[in-house]
Amino acid sequence: MGHADFYYKSFLKIFLAVLGFIFVVFFGLIIVKAIPGFRFEGWSFFTTANWIAPESFGALQLILATLVTTLMALCVAVPIGIGAAVAIVYLVPKSLKILVSSIVGILASVPSIIYGVWGVFVIVHFSGYHLEPWLASVFHGHWPATGAPRAFGILAGGIVLSVMILPIVIAVGASVLETVPEETTEAAYALGSTKSRVIRKVILPRARGGLTGAVLLGTARALGETIALATILGSASTGQLPFNLFATGGTLASSIATDFSGFAEPTFEMLLCLGVCLIVITFTTGAIGRNLVAKQARRYL
Amino acid sequence: MSVIVESDQEAQARAHIQGLIARRFQRRRVLSWVSLSFVGLALLVALFPLYSILEQTVAIGGHYMRLSFFTQNELSPTVQHPNLVGGINNALVGTLIIVAVAVVLSVPLGIVGGIALFEFDNKFVATMRSALFSILAMPSILYGLFVLILAASFKLPFGAYLGSIALAILMIPMVAIVTFEGLGEVPRLHVEAGLALGAQRLSLMRRVMLPEARGRILPGALLAASRAIGETAPVLFVIGSNSYTSWNPFSQVESLPTVIYSDLASNYPAVRAECWAMGLVAMTIILIFNLAARSYFAWSSRELAG
């Protein structure tokens, strides 16, 4: 090993340590600075739903709203997204395939503020004037549509979120489906299977791990979505839990954006606590996702 | 040799079985057709809202596209003049400054980071690699919180540079990962040829591997920059506000996404409608970056193959 190589490797090692340090500081600083916030509020941070700065900071509603909107988005985006990915790979003619998949790829890079603008002007209008009155007339004030319809609420937020994560699920899902080896599908065709049977019995089971990964990428984006939801859901808690289509109130991420108003003592630390919750939730999702994908990969390789 | 003569009963049975088989095939064909059309419908349903977003943005935002919209600064409407919205010069320049500084900070660091991840193969580096992947999935508001804490702890004044730091931290993992993946795709044969000629790791990296991986690294950096252009949450709190154009990275600026975010809550319909136009501008810039990245990637992979 020459001198140049020695310096090169040492430089890279030091650089790597510095890079690691930056990211340790990144998460560490948020967590350490949030500790006074957790001390201030105690367990009621997780068990109460009244976010009234600067006195009480119960985040239960925010945590639940995050989970509920993400669940709504997944209910829509998983079947439609995986169906569309299958359509792009196995149904769309070859000449159109590149066009459709590059449209989806570009849509995946549309920033969330654009979805926010679209949500405020189109979806909130649609939800407030058409969808919610219809739901109210169907359920007659019973669950899951109790109370008065409010255009700017969980329902509109869930719809916008589902549209936001669709391109991710489709794009990643399609690229996963492309990796299913052609020999296996051809073997199934040779045995006389119809196209839909091949897709259901051969391709989807084989691609399940990767498709789970695609869905979890979408889930991570939905859980952490800030700006689009901040424009639609508005400011933090209303004290009412979001187990209702007409519920209002922000999510963990959107409330950080809407409720920041300066470095005043408990309020700023409490927003950092919301950030810590967000780190925990998205990290867990990612860990579970990677675990599932790895397990599937081991089974099918 | 005997001739098999079918009795009536046997012929009936044969016809029955053939009918069953035919019906079964028929059923499978119908079933296949139904499920395939469900899948096609899913694609149409998925593309419709996405089409609606693009169509609305172009249709409404398109009305604003004249030169003065880009050269004027924003104005504040009053009750007497509710349509006084002005242009986007200050926000556009602000976005450019923030992102340019972020690119200058993050691309060299990201590339060196990717090289380091590639050159070593031990437990620490493997942990770093998977950590970078999970950082990619972190919500972008966390970067905003981080620079807020920096500003609060060190009493830093708000300004474009804080937004650049947030975006740079967001971009470093993206650039590092594409660099790592691009270096991994360099043919082993070329690396071994270099080593056989007695090249040291440094010159091998500089003369062989980096030039060959450029077709992956550059598009990756472009895509990272295009993501940074559209990000609102990391820069929202820390860039301050400024209704005049400023090219100084240490002054307060405004950025297209943050102006859209604050204008959406305005009481004036003209200000709210202008959001579509700013969205169109931001989207066009992002689209150009995307197309540039895609076509450079396609061009360089053809170049390598040919």
φ, ψ at B265 (rounded to 5°) = -95, 5
Q: Is the pLDDT of residue B133 over 70?
A: yes
Superfamily for the B89-305 domain: MetI-like (1.10.3720.10)
Using one digit for the tens of pLDDT, what is the confidence trace for B227-249? Answer: 999 999 999 999 988 888 889 99
pTM recorded for the entire structure: 0.90
Residue B261 with chain A: CB contacts under 8 Å: 113, 116, 227, 230-231
**DSSP character for B142?**
H
CB contact under 8 A, A115 and B146: no
- What is the share, in percent, of chain B residues with pLDDT greater than 70? 98
Nearest CA in chain B to A234: B265
Confirm or reject contact between A86 and chain B (CB < 8 A). Answer: yes
Checking A16-19 for CB contacts under 8 A at 24+ apart, the result is A16/B113, A16/B116, A16/B117, A16/B120, A16/B124, A16/B125, A16/B128, A19/B109, A19/B113, A19/B116, A19/B128, A19/B172, A19/B176
Q: Helix (H, G, I), strand (E, B), or coil: what is residue A124?
A: helix
Residues with Cβ within 8 Å of A143's Cβ and at least 6 positions away in sequence, in order, are A243, A244
- Average pLDDT rounded to a whole number, residues A274-282: 93
Please indicate if any CB of chain A lies within 8 Å of the CB of B223. Answer: yes
CB contact under 8 A, A113 and B146: no
Contact of B199 with chain A, judged by CB distance below 8 Å, is answered with no
Residues 91 to 120 of B: which have CB under 8 A from any A CB? 109, 112-113, 115-117, 119-120
pLDDT classification of B116: cutoffs 50, 70, 90: very high
In this prediction the ipTM stands at: 0.90
User: How many independent structural domains does chain A possess?
Assistant: 1
Query: What average pLDDT does chain B have?
Result: 90
Contacts of B233 (CB under 8 A, 6+ apart): A226, A227, A253, A257, B139, B140, B141, B143, B144
For B135, how many CA atoms within 13 A lie in the half-sphere containing its CB?
A: 23
Confidence of residue A297 (pLDDT cuts 50, 70, 90): low
- H or E stretch covering A18: helix A3-41
Residues of B in contact with A90 (CB under 8 A): 39
For residue B10, the distance in angstroms to the closest alpha carbon of chain A comes to: 28
Are residues A103 and B260, on separate chains, in Cβ contact within 8 Å?
A: no
User: Does position B112 have pLDDT exceeding 60, yes or no?
Assistant: yes
Touching check for B198 and chain A: CB below 8 Å?
no
- Identify the CATH number of the domain in which residue A281 sits: 1.10.3720.10
A280 interfacial to chain B (CB closer than 8 Å): no
Domain residue ranges of chain B, discontinuous segments joined by +:
8-64, 89-305
| Confidence check: pLDDT of B217 > 90 | yes
DSSP classification of residue B63: G
Dihedral (C-alpha) B21, B22, B26, B28: value to the nearest 10 degrees? 20
- Determine contact: B274 vs chain A, CB below 8 A: no
Span A82-110, mean pLDDT? 88
Using CA atoms, how far apart are residues B116 and B51, in angstroms rounded to an integer?
Answer: 42
Q: Given CB atoms, is A172 within the 8 Å cutoff of chain B?
A: no
Residue located via tokens 């996404």 = B257
Q: Which of B149, B179, B203, B271 to mutate to probe the A interface, most A CBs <10 Å?
A: B149
Q: A9 vs B36: CB contact, 8 Å cut-off?
A: no
Q: How far is CA A274 from the centre of its chain?
A: 16
Q: How far is A158 from chain B (nearest CA, A)?
A: 14
Structure tokens at B67: 């030169």
Is residue B231 within 8 A of residue B167, CB to CB? The reply is yes
Residue in A80, A102, A227 closest to B42 by CB: A80
Find, in chain B, the residue whose alpha carbon is nearest to that of A12: B116
Write out pLDDT tens, residues A125-180.
998 888 888 888 888 877 787 777 787 888 999 999 999 999 989 988 888 888 88
